[in-house]
Each structure stands twice: as C-alpha cells, then as structure tokens.
Amino acid sequence: MANESLKAKVAAYTEKVEKSLAKNPERKNLAHNRLYTPLDIEGFDYERDLGMPGDFPFTRGVQPTMYRGRFWTMRMYAGFSTAEESNKRYRYLIESGATGLSCAFDLPTQIGYDSDHAMSEGEVGKVGVAIDSLADMEILFDQIDLGKVSTSMTINAPASVLLAMYIAVAEKQGVTPDKLNGTIQNDVLKEYAARGTYIFPPKPSMRLITNIFEYCSKNVPNWNTISISGYHIREAGSTASQEIAFTIADGIAYVEAAIKAGMDVDDFAGRLSFFWNAHNNVLEEVAKFRASRRVWAKVMRERFKAQKPKSWMLRVHTQTAGSMLTAQQPENNIVRVALQTAAAVLGGTQSLHTNSKDEALALPTEDSVRVALRTQQIVAYESGLADVVDPLGGSYYIEALTDQIEAEAWEYIKKIDEIGGAVVAIEQGYIQKEIQESAYKWQMDVETKQRIIVGVNQFQIQEKPVEGLLRVDASVGEFQRKKLVDLRARRDNAAVEKSLAALEAACKDEHANLMPLILDAVKTYATLGEICGVMRKVFGEYQAPATL
C-alpha cells in the first residue's frame, strides 16, 4: 500500500512538472531521471546489495572504518628529466606531506629502449624520468628509505625489469624484498586497447605478468603485482560503465592466466589492485566506484571460487582525470580536480593522485604540484567527507545509479565472454571500437554544445600565454647518453653477456619464471634496452590491428 501511495504521488508530481515545462523548460540531454524515490530501487535488499563496509559485496568499501582509521595514501605521480632531477621532486613531495610515491617514466623507458637508441631521440625525460639501468634507479631513490615509503610505478611492458631494479636498490639499502610495499601497473592488456606502450605480443606479455605474480607471492608478498587499469581506458574516451567492464574483463583474463600457470587463486588475488579514473560527474563516479567493488567481489567469489575475503576485495588507486583538464583558463582546473577528488573519496578509493592545474600544457611545476597535494589534504582534513563511511549510501539516486552501472558493466562482460575473453576481444578490435565510438560521441557533444566545457566551448575569455611552465631541456638526452657510455666502460661486460645469455635461454623455455633471470641481469648493470632487446629477439613485437 505504501508503494501505491508513493506511485500516486510521483504521478501527481510528474503531471505538475509537465504543466510547468512550457514556462520553465529543462536543460536538454540530461541523462538521468529528474527525481529518484524508493520506486527506483524496488527489490533493493540491504544485506545482498550493500552489506556492511569491509564485508561482501564491498559496495560500501573494503575497510570497516574506511578513512576514520587513516586517510587514503596521498600518492603524487611524478617523474621528469633525469633520475637526479626526479629524486629532488620526490624528496620535496615527501617533505610536503605526500605519503606515497608514484613514478612516471619517460616514453623510451615505457617501451623498453635505452636513451641512446635511435627511437628515443627527442623523447628522453619528456613525459617522465629516464631510467636506463640500475645506476639510474639508485640515483632516483637516493636518500629515500624503501623500507618506509610505498611506491607505485606506472610501467607495463617492461614492468618486470623496473621491479627487478627496485628490488635491487632496496637490497643495496639493506631492505629485504619481503619488507617492500608498493605497486607496479603491469597491465599490458589495456595498452593494446587504449594506451599503446606495448612491446611484446599478448601471449609472452601474459607470461611475464604471471611470472611476476608467482615470484612476488613467494618473495615480495606485500607488493601489489598489478594495477588493472581503467584510468587509460577512460582517458581514451570510454564511459563509466565501459571503464569498469573492460578493466574487470582484463582482470578476469589475468586471473585465468595465473590459474592456467598453476597458481591457486587465493595465493595471488589479494595482491591484485585496480586503477580508476575520477571524472567530473561526481555522483556518477561515486556510483561507479561502488558498482565496481560489487562486480569484482561477485567475479572472484562466484566465478573463480576464491575462498579468502581478501581475494574478493577490489582495492583501488585513483587519479583525477587528465583528459578533463583544459589548456584554456588553467586555473579552472583546480576546481575540476577538487570535484574529482571529492568523487574519489566519496567513492572509497585507497590511494589518490591529484593532477596539477598546468598539466594540459606541460609537466607540472613545484608550485602547481603543491596545490594539487593541498587539494587532497583540504578534502581530508577540512571537508568532512572522510568522517563517515560511504556517506552517500542509501541515496535513492546513488543506489539506482550504482545498480544501473553494474548492470551495464555485466552486459559488456557477458559480450566479451561470448567473444572469447579480453585477449580475443582486443585482438578482434572490439574493445577499441567501443571506446572509439564513445569518444566520438563525447567530442560531437562538445562541438555541438550539447556538453559544455567551461572556457572551451562557452565562457571563453581572451588569454595571455601562460608563463612559468616546466620545460625539459633537450640536453637531458645527451646527459643520459654520456651516462650510458660511462656505465658500459666500468661494468663487468662479461658478466652482463652471461646474464643476458641465461635470460635468452630462459625465454625460450615456456615453463621458466623469468623474474630471477631478469633480476640477475639488472644486478650486473645490464641496461633496460639490453634486457628488453633479448626478450624482443625471442618474443617478437606486437603489431596493432586496424579498428576503423
């Protein structure tokens, strides 16, 4: 009877609204209902759909008290120029209150080339720090105690090599691998689908990933062995539901590959982590975070029969949306990042990087990085958003939107399963095509002003050129090349050749775990390019299919 009464009231409200629309028309292209009531969540079951924070299905968060115990890790993404320059920035961030580091590597490092390779010309140190060998990694973390800091490394195709370098630096500091905390991105599938910094074909890439799972489960147990990344899928133009669907489909592929390699799901699932984008639509993002935890919990418990609650948890690092920042009126980006920060916190992220206002124009300056970090700190200490667990839980709109995004994600996951899984869907170009179509629709909405971007297609002003941007000097490339000449002159080149030959032999043995061989090569000061060159020789390089 209560629902019948509410239905009557909603009908009367709707009739009243319809009469007023002639005088007071609504904005066009609004995606959701104008009003949400209990009728929009009929069938809602609190214990089944929400549960308690820290309990299956983790809709309300993976920790019982969330931020009432401690805040999320404030992990600022940084890296540029040389290891020497980036080390200064890392120490500045730690002194400014950052509680974790997040390493950005330059493009040559991301695709496995040394700074003196012809393919590296003009790109050394531009979008991140150049790391050619263990010697660079030692400089990068000079005077930073790896036993105390948590480090995330945004590295994918050569993730095994950079992780080996990190382990070797820690050992030189006297920190054993079992004391290390951090994450490597190590998510190659999204590189094929959205980002492009791949090296090897999918099969050997999946082997490297599962090798890392196995090695770390035994030797580096506190390390998050993969950050399954929706961030770049969203940056490429996907919707919120596509972001979580395609990313969780990738996660399913990684779990299946590890199980096929002989691992027990509960031995590695607890160290899997995810990486979400925080976009501008605050409430949609909150619902996305909540829906993603519910989907993953069901996948792990029901599909893979994982027994440990830790294996069911979707733990997530978040970065604010770089693609939503504008070169026009860059001060407006501070507001955008603040809203995105609020979305991530209300959604229950475990760690967060906030972009800087000038990143649509250049790498961030120290001043803009400080403002980005202070944004997190203000939200944490002054806003009250972190004082209550899942504060928007129970909102008719949030619950309805969470259900909607979950349902849309399951539809995509079902379609990908029918195709043959994420690897096949990527090889056939299905995921790429879906992202491209969403990106095209977004851009058309901007160009026709169906979607307003402040300062871009409305509210423009005449602006002077922005001053004080950070520029990476072209001399960085020459500096790195000289370091490589010096390194090759002083290292034991016979030991290098021996380690690379052992690695090549292991690459040809499908049953060998490559991580110990890569670690041995790193310790001889074999370079990133030399190690990846051996794997290129055996595995070959990936060629992307045409999708248009």
The number of angstroms, rounded, from the C-alpha of 398 to the middle of its chain's C-alpha atoms is: 24
77 forms beta bridges with 102
Identify the band that residue 526 occupies on the pLDDT scale cut at 50, 70 and 90: very high
Q: For residues 286 and 390, what is the distance between their CA atoms, to the nearest angstrom?
A: 9
151 forms beta bridges with 101, 182
pLDDT at 28: 80
Identify the band that residue 155 occupies on the pLDDT scale cut at 50, 70 and 90: very high
Q: Which residue is associated with the tokens 């958003």?
A: 385
Check pLDDT > 90 for residue 379: yes
Letter string b/e over residues 328-360, b meaning 16 or more CB atoms within 10 A of that residue's CB? bbbebbbebbbbbbbbbbbbbbbbbbbbbbbbb
* Contact by Cβ (8 Å): 261, 214: yes
Identify the band that residue 468 occupies on the pLDDT scale cut at 50, 70 and 90: confident
The average confidence (pLDDT) of the chain is 94
> In the chain, where are the structural domains located?
47-448
Token pair of 159 as six digits: 């993730």
Mind listing the pLDDT tens digit for each residue in 247-273?
A: 999 999 999 999 998 999 999 999 999
Q: 47-448 architecture in CATH?
A: Alpha-Beta Barrel (3.20)
Question: Average pLDDT, stretch 524-537?
Answer: 98
Check pLDDT > 90 for residue 473: no
Identify the band that residue 78 occupies on the pLDDT scale cut at 50, 70 and 90: confident
Question: Average pLDDT, stretch 421-436?
Answer: 95
Token pair of 179 as six digits: 């004391």
What share of the chain has pLDDT > 70, as a percent? 99
Check pLDDT > 60 for residue 548: no
Check pLDDT > 70 for residue 1: no
Q: At 473, is the secondary structure helix, strand, or coil?
A: coil
- Give the other-Cβ count within 10 Å of 8's Cβ: 10
| Measured distance between the N- and C-terminal CA atoms of the chain, rounded to whole angstroms | 54
144: left (phi over 0), alpha (psi -120 to 50) or beta: beta
Question: Average pLDDT, stretch 68-76?
Answer: 90
Mind listing the pLDDT tens digit for each residue in 478-513?
A: 999 999 999 999 999 999 999 999 999 999 999 999
Check pLDDT > 80 for residue 149: yes
Check pLDDT > 90 for residue 2: no
Question: Average pLDDT, stretch 162-168?
Answer: 98
DSSP string, 294-342: HHHHHIIIIIS---SHHHH---EEEEE-GGG--SSSTTHHHHHHHHHHH
Mind listing the pLDDT tens digit for each residue in 287-343?
A: 999 999 999 999 999 999 999 999 999 999 999 999 999 999 999 999 999 999 999
Q: For residues 276 and 338, what is the distance between their CA atoms, to the nearest angstrom?
A: 16
CA-based nearest residue to 290, from 375, 190, 381, 400: 400
pLDDT at 65: 96
Integer angstrom CA distances of residue 323 from 156, 232, 277? 21, 10, 10
Question: Average pLDDT, stretch 49-59?
Answer: 96
Q: For residues 528 and 366, what is the distance between their CA atoms, to the nearest angstrom?
A: 29
Identify the band that residue 81 occupies on the pLDDT scale cut at 50, 70 and 90: confident
